[in-house]
Structure 1
């Protein structure tokens, strides 16, 4: 009998938050230090496998994710100027090499923490030099629901717009991949690591659009469901519980490692998207606060 290497690893148990039955309007309102969904999410006991000992087993086209050795020259990830000046180029080079892509555009980045965030004033623009809040840079809580940050039906148009802007004289592209490059920079083990779902265990028809609204102040009550132009907004995909989902994480991630995983691959003959979520890991002693930086990119194949 052949033993599947994936069944030899250690596991941990955690409650992952999946979308519950609820309102037809699903929106995610984001402001400085605060993120609120209109949908309700319930905890489902889930087995999460630790891929640390078999890290070289995983591939982007099979599983949808891969742990990379990715040394960084950044001294302080809380120094916005340093991150802007250096980190995007680092991410660009790692992603381009990993995919062997022809052209890569690195988009926004965000810091996240498992620690409590000091509440901001009700109008975030008052703490931002009078400017509206931008969901870019800054510090947000760990994302605690099962999701993918892109909704499939909107991605081709988004890719075409980015390519036309960044490469106006390019020959065009045959394939594109939207990814997250995720790094934790606090000491291991971390109390709230990131779990990723094996792309092979996710059906193509799964996922519900969750429209993103970036606001200065989070609406309350019925105002969260007021008529809004949802069709023109960015949206994520959120997921209902599926016992077939196969979850992984990499324990004790180090500062010079990064987890690269797919939001959307236009080639659906391979693993093309990876639901993910933060979770509280009680299996390792001496866990530290998790602080991380996530950076989005889009890779083009011409």
Structure 2
């Protein structure tokens, strides 16, 4: 087993992360045409986020839940949707299959994020809350649904892994890099489900009954824990990616990684961070 890299406070930045506030427990996100609301309450905590560059070769997906990988893409313009669909989608599916040794990999879509004026670039803002895209129960339900849809004649799966492949295509340094929490510092009981509902209109009482509403899936959000060990990789280029786990049905491995964008107070960035994240489910049959 690869040892966890030794934390080095000398290579850490002190930065703010937005955690779920204590006492905030009923978590729902309602998305309606032109409007969205989240019932969670959040608070910022200043935490050390360690520079993983000096020990970047020591991280593994199996132990830490993430790694940084050199991966060149033939995509010329990541803001060109047609080119991304035609070129990047098969690239990433092949990449994930090779990284995990899975039998099948299915796309769950991609999204661009930009730290300034995202709407001008068909992008979303940076994701600045400590979260995981799938809660355990949401991941299990989604894995079964995705497999049934895309592999109707398959023999079934013994293991499913939801992952993200995250790439920056704006030049370094990044004003809002991505922080990743070492799986080994996350307690088994950490995390609360935040359930996503698609609705015609946001309910008058978001904390009231939800009977009959269309539940899509649930992610995880986290209260602050001083034991959380955070890492980032400054000055990323478009020829490398962060590959990390949302959920692995095999809990004998690193099976989830909380993460969040954060404002790096030390970065002398000249352009907003622009990135593409690609979600997949990998299946072992």
- Does the alignment reach a TM-score above 0.5? yes
C-alpha distance in 2 between matches for 1:199 and 1:244: 11
Instruction: Quote the residue 2:215 is aligned against.
Output: 232
Residue aligned with 2:84, SS: helix
| Alpha-carbon displacement from aligned partner over 1:15-42 (angstroms, at most 9, x marks no partner) | 1111013454312245789764221110
Per-residue CA distance 1:32-67 (angstroms, 9 max, x = gap): 897642211101110001111221110001000011
Q: 1:269 aligns with which of 252, 258, 270?
A: 252
CA distance in 2 between counterparts of 1:112 and 1:216 reads: 25
Q: Does 1:158 align with 2:142?
A: yes
**Structure 2 partner of 1:298:** 281
Q: For the structure 1 residues 253 and 216, does the alpha-carbon distance in structure 2 shift closer, same or farther, using more than 3 Å as the test?
A: farther
- CA separation of 1:285/1:232 partners in 2, compared to 1, >3 Å: closer, same or farther? closer
Contact preservation (8 Å) 1:211, 1:235: yes
- Number of residue pairs aligned between Structure 1 and Structure 2: 281
Give the direction of change, closer, same or farther, for the CA distance of 1:256–1:215 in structure 2 (3 Å limit). farther
Q: Do 2:199 and 2:214's aligned partners in 1 also have CA atoms closer than 8 Å?
A: no
**Contact kept? 1:197, 1:245, Cα under 8 Å:** yes
Residue 158 of structure 1 deviates from its aligned partner by: 2.0
Structure 2 stretches of 5 or more lacking a match? none
State yes or no: 1:13 paired with 2:22.
Answer: no
* TM-fit CA distance, 1:260: 0.6
Determine the structure 1 residue equivalent to 2:156: 172
Unaligned runs of 5+ in 1: 120-136
C-alpha distance in structure 2 between counterparts of 1:63 and 1:216, whole Å? 40
Instruction: Please give the secondary structure, in 2, of the residue aligned with 1:232.
Output: strand
Q: TM-score if structure 1 supplies the norm length?
A: 0.85
Give the direction of change, closer, same or farther, for the CA distance of 1:145–1:31 in structure 2 (3 Å limit).
farther
Query: Aligned residue for 2:114?
Result: 113
Correspondences of 1:187-226 after superposition (within 5 Å): 187-214=171-198, 219=202, 222-226=204-208
Q: 2:123 is matched with which residue?
A: 139
Cα distance change on mapping 1:31 and 1:196 into 2, 3 Å: farther
| CA-atom RMSD in angstroms | 2.5
Report if aligned partners of 1:32, 1:140 keep a CA contact under 8 Å in 2: no
